[in-house]
Amino acid sequence: MPSQKRSICAKVPLSKGEYYRKRFFNNNLINRNLMIKRIDGFLYIPLLTHPNGIDNKSVKLKKNNDDNIEYKNESFEIYPKRINNYKSLLSLPDGLNKDLPTSFDIIGSIAILKLSDSLLDYSNQIGKAILSVHKNLNSVAIDSGVKGDFRIRKIKIIAGEKNTETIHKEYGLRLILDLSKVYYSPRLGKEHYRVAKLVRSGEVVLDMFAGIGPFAIMISKYSRASQIYSIDINKHAMEYLIKNIDLNKVQNIFPLEGDARKLIHRIPLVDRVIMNLPFDSDKFIDLAFQKMNIHGIIHLHKIINVDHVKNYKTELKEKCGIYGFESKRIKTINLGSYSAKLNHYCFDMSVSKI
Ligand SMILES: C[S@@+](CC[C@H](N)C(=O)[O-])C[C@H]1O[C@@H](n2cnc3c(N)ncnc32)[C@H](O)[C@@H]1O
């Protein structure tokens, strides 16, 4: 028998139940530890306090109480305590609990986590515990890192549906992707949005390493860019980019599949270049200058040690000079740590032709 507790409540006609529930809720009057109950055409809403003395206007109840609300004392079921930590559901051998991850990323309906070797034998148990706490998830996967030119995660589903395709929501966008075939990081959502909000009306943008298109689609949604050219060498990334263009009903994105170096001749002059290939972006910087208008912005991603940032910015300024541009201002945006010693940065370079 679930535990019960007595509480002051409002007895309201069922037909007006939702109306009054919202009114009490908006005024923080509902006791959320107790379950609302319905009996014989009435809803009993447990309250934190008797509304006597509370101005009816502020609760926005009808002044003349047409609906005959009664306030009375009743017994209510107490909501079972929520378990919000998957660790409490696990009984692992002594000493292993401390190795359990304290956080994990969620992409769509898939949780992705890193597990130390000591926990691999218990991965299914761990995955099931996460699924039972996070009811909105369908699967849990181990992430062994991003690899290769396509920057694809090596993942293995450890619990739930054996499906690696999912739809992730980011700042109002819906992005469909298959985690086992394309790169995507939910940690860059804020950066996709930041860049989109910088784009001015009429700009032509080049997303040189576009993946499934989060920068391009965000820009299309949140700016008045005229055209966005999106290149990626991974054919699956292109397939998902095209699906995402449809899913988000955007129109000014031009997807190009292949090596940026080979496709660059198909791109017109642009006002902004996004270069998110953090270990190798700078090897392609000549392409950005080749296609840059008289003035423009390059968002160059780089993973480096914090101690090298200053020197790296000096190197970038020198590179501008080599390609006939100058950069008066390079802004550094720290996008988070990549490893103990390395951080992921975006360098926003405002460049002008000399
Ligand atoms: C780190 S991901 C970035 C994806 C995307 N910008 C995002 O934020 O989700 C880098 C992408 O560059 C693509 N890539 C790698 N080398 C490339 C090249 N030479 N030309 C075009 N795309 C390339 C990879 O396939 C991968 O999708």
Residues 4-30, mean pLDDT to the nearest whole number: 89
The maximal CA–CA distance of the chain, rounded, in angstroms, is: 82
How far is 311 from 352, CA to CA, in rounded Å? 21
Give the H/E segment covering residue 14: none
Residues 170-175, mean pLDDT to the nearest whole number: 94
| Residue 179, phi then psi, degrees to nearest 5 | -55, -25
| Atom 6 of ligand 1, nearest CA residue | 210
User: What is the DSSP code (8-state) at residue 74?
Assistant: E
Residues 327-334, mean pLDDT to the nearest whole number: 93
For residue 185, pLDDT over 70 is answered with: yes
**What are the strands of the beta sheet with 152-160, ordered from one edge?**
105-107, 110-113, 139-147, 152-160
Give the pLDDT confidence score for residue 59 in this predicted structure: 52
**Which of 151, 207, 209 has the most ligand 1 atoms within 8 A of CB, as the residue to mutate?**
209
Distance, CA 268 to ligand 1 centroid (Å)? 20
Of 70-79, 187-196, 344-353, the poorest mean pLDDT is in 70-79
146-168 burial: b if 16+ Cβ within 10 Å, else e:
eeeebbbbebebbbbeeebebeb
Reported as a pLDDT band with limits 50, 70 and 90, residue 258 is very high
Give the pLDDT confidence score for residue 53 in this predicted structure: 55
Residues 97-108, mean pLDDT to the nearest whole number: 91
Give the pLDDT confidence score for residue 84 in this predicted structure: 67
Q: What is the pLDDT of residues 279-297, one digit of tens each?
A: 999 999 999 999 999 999 9
Distance, CA 269 to ligand 1 centroid (Å)? 21
Residue 90, both tokens: 């696990």
Owner of token pair 């391009």: 216
How far is 170 from 287, CA to CA, in rounded Å? 29
Residues 323-342, mean pLDDT to the nearest whole number: 93
Residue 207, both tokens: 């997303």
223-261 burial: b if 16+ Cβ within 10 Å, else e:
bebebbbbbbbbebbbbbbbbbbeebebebbebbbeebe
| Residue 292, phi then psi, degrees to nearest 5 | -80, 135
Give the pLDDT confidence score for residue 242 in this predicted structure: 98
CB 251 within 8 A of CB 171: no
Best-predicted range by mean pLDDT (13-27, 49-63, 319-333): 319-333
Q: What residues flank ligand 1, with Cβ below 6 Å? A: 149-151, 183-184, 188, 209-211, 214-215, 231-234, 237, 259-260, 276-277
Which one is predicted more confidently, 150 or 58?
A: 150
Considering the chain, what is the average pLDDT of its residues?
91
Reported as a pLDDT band with limits 50, 70 and 90, residue 128 is very high
Distance, CA 320 to ligand 1 centroid (Å)? 23
Which one is predicted more confidently, 4 or 219?
A: 219
Distance, CA 276 to ligand 1 centroid (Å)? 7
Which atom of ligand 1 approaches the CA of 259 most closely?
20
Which pTM was predicted? 0.78
Which atom of ligand 1 approaches the CA of 231 most closely?
21
For residue 103, pLDDT over 70 is answered with: yes
CA distances from 178 to 91, 102, 105, 182, 287 (A): 33, 25, 15, 6, 29
| Atom 9 of ligand 1, nearest CA residue | 184
State the alpha helices, DSSP H only, in the chain: 17-26, 56-59, 123-133, 189-198, 214-222, 235-247, 260-263, 285-290, 309-322
Give the pLDDT confidence score for residue 88 in this predicted structure: 84
Residues 34-52, mean pLDDT to the nearest whole number: 90
Residues 11-33, mean pLDDT to the nearest whole number: 88
| Residue 313, phi then psi, degrees to nearest 5 | -65, -35
**What are the strands of the beta sheet with 227-232, ordered from one edge?**
253-257, 227-232, 204-207, 270-275, 292-305, 342-353, 325-337
CA dihedral for 305, 309, 311, 312, sign (positive or negative): positive
For residue 303, pLDDT over 80 is answered with: yes
| Atom 17 of ligand 1, nearest CA residue | 233
CB 30 within 8 A of CB 47: yes
Of 19-23, 253-257, 349-353, the poorest mean pLDDT is in 19-23
For residue 278, pLDDT over 80 is answered with: yes
CB 308 within 8 A of CB 345: no
Residues 120-125, mean pLDDT to the nearest whole number: 94
Give the pLDDT confidence score for residue 351 in this predicted structure: 96
How far is 346 from 85, CA to CA, in rounded Å? 34
Q: What is the pLDDT of residues 138-152, one digit of tens each?
A: 999 999 888 888 899
Reported as a pLDDT band with limits 50, 70 and 90, residue 66 is low
Reported as a pLDDT band with limits 50, 70 and 90, residue 121 is very high
CA 137 to mean position of chain CA atoms: 14
Residues 224-238, mean pLDDT to the nearest whole number: 98
Residues 40-45, mean pLDDT to the nearest whole number: 93
CA 110 to mean position of chain CA atoms: 12
For residue 1, pLDDT over 80 is answered with: no
Residues 193-201, mean pLDDT to the nearest whole number: 97
